[in-house]
Structure 1
Amino acid sequence: MEISEIAESVEYIRTRTSHRFKFNYTQIRIVEVEQFVSSPVFHALGHDWVIDYYPKASRINRFIYTRIDHWSCELICSIDDSEKFSQGVPKSFNLQSQIEKLLESSETADVTIVVENHSFRSHRSILAARSPVLKAELYGNMVEATQKQIKIKDICPKVFKAMLHFMYTDSFPCCDSETVSAEMAQHLFVAADRYAIEGLKALCEDKLCDSISLDSVSSTLALAEQHNSPRLKNSCLEFIAEPGIMLSWMSSCQLMNM
């Protein structure tokens, strides 16, 4: 089947400025690496658009191992005319950048968090808004509620600093999850669960799901079990179920137990 024939068989649905590109797995599995399937051209916000999908550039084959004859996928694209909303607004007015400056300056900080021999000047209101656990400590009946300095145990300074950065900025310290190591993501995942920071926990889940390997799947699966993450657990089990992975994984487990 030619690529053009596959493209003609897709289903295209328009809903306002959101567009859905639907196709069957049986139709695109013959596509070679670097080849792509294009959607029909659609019009939105005064422009013509097209979606190019590269099947072999995704993780699509990794998780499909049963009943693939009946499996289909939809790519949903949302288009916003962002220029109309951002035009003429100075960067200095950005709320996120302003809050990040609070983290960089201790001038208005009203509490000090001590982790081992490191001190972090912070703001009670921001910590409480981001973490219900810290809110209970800072504003509840605990002793910490009246103290200017709070000690936190069972977390290393590097991990706490990264978690603190997320609470102020809603992003990893480097602003790019690709440069965050899987090991750091595991530590942050544990910390996020401990302090009930759901946004950070979800971000770490994304990173860990994308980083599963034969070396890390056992520890990642254990984390998923301990910290109640069905999504991460399913990703680990799907990885283990891949052809050739199960035997290698079982062999590595046996070596670890020897």
Structure 2
Amino acid sequence: KINYYDSTFSLHLCYEALIGIEAQYKFYLANHKSNKYSKGLNSSLFTSGTCFGDEGFMEYHTMTDKENGYIFDKEIIKIGVQIVLGDPVFSGRTNLEYVEGLGESLRLQWQNKSFADLTLVTAQAEWAAHKVILASQSSVFSEILTNSTDEHPVNYINVSDAECGEVESMLEFIYSGSVSSTTNLINLVYCAHHFNVTGLKSYCENRLRFGITCDNSLERLILSHDYDLNQLKTSIMAYIVKNKCPTLKGESLETLITYPALLSEIGSFFTEMVHW
């Protein structure tokens, strides 16, 4: 924003975003000789609708001087602004603090079984849960619970081992975003796939990319193929090449032959590695 006065003119920097921010700023002018006129950096807390600047940035006669002034043809002024942004300034808790607090609250709700209104039942155990949480994180649970009515409420959901052999770990992820290091991640992939739990398949994929060995490479390779875990698949194939694993020999090869699309993909990958 530019304002003209009798003997000076002012420059102001205005801010319209909703989140406040601390910023340093400096204005400068350039003339036809490439000389620059500027003032030192100023620091201000910008909030929506605020303007900060210099009421007497330059004397009018300095700006309009014909020899060394800062007005170009057709009364054009070239104004530059240097801005150094600081951290956003929030009122109350930051977004990160809010997310962390919400996550901790959900975890405690699960651990304490507070206000639980649903039970997941397997042949081995039962787990208390909350309908709204499961429905928000799983399209399958959402569809099941949509059919719940006052006359026919859905208060129990039976889960077979074939559908999910890691129910407790699945619930742990839904409520906390992570699972313990002892969890069988391969079984958890089955749970993620069957119940379509938001983010769980990607979480398992990232964990499975660590700890690849020649001994487990075949099992994880087939898993990555069956459940579209492409990053895991690439990591395994690269590991097999680097460590010269016998995954493409003997019984392992006989198993891979039953997966022709995967075997073709492995062949293409190895060919590219050789050419590279």
TM-score (norm 1): 0.55
Aligned twin of 2:120: 113
Could you say which residue in structure 2 is the equivalent of 1:199? Answer: 199
Number of the residue aligned with 2:47: none
Contact 1:115/1:156 (<8 A) preserved: no
How far 1:236 sits from its partner (Å)? Answer: 1.8
Match of 2:167? 160
Q: 1:82, CA displacement in angstroms? A: 10
The number of residues matched between the two structures is 165
Which structure is larger by alpha-carbon Rg, 1 or 2? 2
Identify which range, 108-117 or 123-132, moves more after superposition. Answer: 108-117
Using the alignment, how far apart are the partners of 2:195 and 2:238 within structure 1?
29
Q: Which has the larger share of strand?
A: 2
| Distance in structure 2 (CA, Å) of the matches to 1:121 and 1:141 | 17
Counterparts of 1:1-258 in structure 2, within 5 Å, are: 94-140=101-147, 146-155=153-162, 159-172=166-179, 174=180, 179-180=181-182, 184-242=184-242, 244-245=244-245, 248-251=246-249, 253=251
Give a deviation string over 1:107-141, Cα, whole Å, max 9, x none: 40111110113111110000000111111111147
CA RMSD of aligned residues (A): 3.4
**Preserved contact between residue 115 and residue 155 of structure 1 (Cα < 8 Å):** no
Give SS of 2:126's match: strand
Output the CA distance in 2 between the equivalents of 1:251 and 1:104: 47
Q: Give runs of ≥4 in structure 1 deviating > 6 Å.
A: 80-87
CA distance in 2, matches of 1:217, 1:124: 38
8 Å contact kept, 1:127–1:135: yes
Once residues 156 and 140 of structure 1 are traced to their aligned partners in structure 2, the CA distance between those partners, rounded to angstroms, is 20
Displacement of 1:197 after TM fit? 1.8
Which 10-residue stretch deviates more, 123-132 or 206-215?
206-215
Q: Shift of the alpha carbon at 1:211?
A: 1.8
Q: Which runs of 5+ in 1 are unaligned?
A: 1-79
- The CA deviation at 1:147 is 2.3
Q: Identity rate of aligned residues, in percent? A: 22
With normalisation by structure 2, the TM-score equals 0.51
**Distance (whole Å) between structure 1 residues aligned to residue 199 and residue 206 of structure 2:** 11
Change (3 A) 1:198 1:237: farther
In 1, Cα distance between the equivalents of 2:219 and 2:210?
14
Q: Distance in 2 between matches of 1:161 and 1:106?
A: 13
Structure 2: gaps of 5 or more residues: 1-85, 256-276
